[in-house]
Structure 1
Amino acid sequence: MVEIGKFNKLKVLRQADFGYFLDAETGETDDDILLPNRSTLGKTVTINDEIDVFIYKDSKDRLTATFAKPLAEVYQLAYLKVVSVTDIGAFVDFGLERDLFVPIKEQNYILVEGNSYLFYIYVDKTNRLAASTFIDDYLDNTEDYLVGTDVEGIVYGFQTNGSVMVAIDSKFRGVILKNEYYNRIIPGETIKLRVKKHFEDGKMSLTPRKVAVDERLALEDVILKYLQEHDGTMPYNDKSSPEDIKAEFHQSKNYFKNALGGLMRNNLITQDETGTKLK
């Protein structure tokens, strides 16, 4: 039987002006699948040949074949771009003529036209290919990544406590705890991370922070740049509120204090009750 959303090896039965008909192995002529001329991609097709083609449904709901390679096959995860958003759902670029539909009920968060997200490809009740943002069930846990390893992840949602759900290499589950990030993070965003530890269930605890000394040095550079751009002064010091520091520098107060301490040890700044100044 033909598998929708996958490459199938099918026999070429006959040729028409507009393309070739392929044997769907159902024994019914009406079920033969059309390979349109435009979908041959210039390849030579001969009657009785067995060819590998991708099968999907066209805009008229007919099974259609193509030599084109989509960005993913059915039952796979793929990072796809949203090309339009409508009242009934969104459409994403799949690499073929027809875009993939993402029903409203399969959207775990608001999709934005032009942005890319991680989707699971499936066959719906009408045998059409569709996509879903609910991907957690299709990811695995792993302890193969050593603590301290640099990884890259795609955000695919948020837990109720504010922790960020991240897919590593589009295969494995990871989480960024709420106290590990200070910048705004959005679904579909690709983030460079570091493995902090492994939870008992195998899920990875991740952090966007560098190791402590690198984090401090990077923040020192940010503070110096801020001072240089504000006439050598700022209203923030080691007594400033955590909320003010987070809003301006996207860091915790503890990291901010450590960076100020490093700059003072290097005799680059001074602090008083009004804030911080360049020397």
Structure 2
Amino acid sequence: MIEFGKLNTLTISNRRDNQIYLDGGELGEIALADKDVKGQVGDSLRVFVYIDGKNQTIATTVIPKAQADEVACLKVVSLSHAGAFLDWGLPKDLLLPFSEQKGKMVEGRSVLVRLFLDENNRIAASMLLDDFIQDEAFYYKDGQAVTLMIADETELGFKAVVDHKYWGVLYKNEIFQPLRRGQVVSGFIKKVRPDRKLDLILSQEKYGQKVDGTSEKILAVLEKHGGYIGLTDKSPPEMIYDTFAVSKKVFKQAIGGLYKQRRIVIEDNGIRLVGKD
């Protein structure tokens, strides 16, 4: 059975007039939109199948930026009387209807949307994520690896969509890298709370392990740069992250430990390896 708005594996049923036709089961033959695909009758192709605005069934080997039931950050490419149209990687842009919009639409700006099928199995986008994303998650375990889509920043940290289905929270004091809305990152379930809501974390590495690892990175960078780098515990967090991919707090702990071990000297404008004057 064909899954509209998703990838399907279909068999080539016919070739005529330089056109490939696929076996669509109950739908009959489906013409392949791509003209440069090679294949013989009986071959299988992995294709994306959807119904366009003219109610025509389309099959293509081009994989879009998102499929039905997925969350994606897509750019607004045009505005019309029907709504906004988004670039989703296919020749025909994706409709974001007025009824599914939040805030003012601006061409060139990216929006966070969830793709869905309407009553006619046509694929469209919605910015009303709470209509689709659930607060209570099931079948997850503490420590389980997941894919996260970063959503809104809050007082606690960041809301994130877990595996396109559930809301979770990344806490501010456990984020050691810059995040932006629409960014896709790997993460872990830190804890499944009693109310089935998800606490998330980007790394399972313990804080002490992170400090120790950063200490080794600092020593390696110092050796590479002749024993001196122009960073201290007073440097901007962005500079520290760009160099070592850790928070300023972790960096300060690491150089503090190295200083106590008499492996570095902390100067006004940088740090220096002991013995590298």
TM range, smaller chain: 0.5 to 0.7
Query: Residue 50 of structure 1 corresponds to which residue in structure 2?
Result: none
Aligned residues: 246
Q: TM-score, normalised by structure 1?
A: 0.62
- For the structure 1 residues 109 and 246, does the alpha-carbon distance in structure 2 shift closer, same or farther, using more than 3 Å as the test? farther
Is the contact made by 1:19 and 1:34 (CA closer than 8 Å) also made in structure 2? no
What stretches of structure 1 of length at least 5 have no aligned partner?
8-17, 26-31, 45-52
Report if the CA contact (8 A) 1:109-1:187 is conserved. Answer: no
Alignment check: 8 A CA contact 1:39 1:65 kept: no
CA offset digits 1:23-59 (Å, max 9, x no partner): xx9xxxxxx9995575898787xxxxxxxx95513xx
In structure 1, give the amino acid aligned to 2:191: K
Q: Which residue in the other structure is 2:55 paired with?
A: 63
8 Å CA contact 1:118, 1:188 repeated in 2: no
Q: Does 1:151 align with 2:146?
A: yes
C-alpha spacing 1:109/1:172, structure 2 compared with 1 (3 Å): farther
1:234 aligns with 2:225: no
Whose Rg is larger?
Answer: 1
Q: Of the candidates 66, 70, 80, which is equivalent to residue 77 of structure 1?
A: 70
Deviation at 1:205, TM superposition (A): 1.6
* CA positional deviation for 1:121: 1.9
Cα offset for 1:216?
A: 1.0
Offset, 1:174? 1.5
The answer as to whether partners of 1:176 and 1:206 remain within 8 angstroms in 2 is: yes
Select which of 173, 184, 187 maps to 1:190: 184
CA–CA distance in 2 between the matches of 1:198 and 1:109? Answer: 36
The alignment's C-alpha RMSD in Å is: 5.0
Give me the whole-angstrom Cα distance separating, in 1, the residues matched to 2:185 and 2:60.
Answer: 31
Matches within 5 A, 1:20-99: 38=33, 54=49, 56-57=51-52, 61-68=53-60, 74=68, 76-79=69-72, 82=75, 85-88=77-80, 89-93=84-88, 97-99=91-93
TM-score by length of 2: 0.62
Give me the identity figure in percent.
Answer: 21
Q: What is the correspondence of 1:64-213 to structure 2 with a 5 Å cutoff?
A: 64-68=56-60, 74=68, 76-79=69-72, 82=75, 85-88=77-80, 89-93=84-88, 97-103=91-97, 106=101, 119-123=114-118, 129-140=123-134, 141-142=136-137, 144-155=139-150, 157-161=151-155, 163-209=157-203, 210-213=205-208
Give the deviation of 1:259 after TM superposition: 1.0
Question: Alpha-carbon deviation of 1:64?
Answer: 0.8
When residues 194 and 112 of structure 1 are mapped into structure 2, their CA distance, relative to the original with a 3 A threshold, is farther
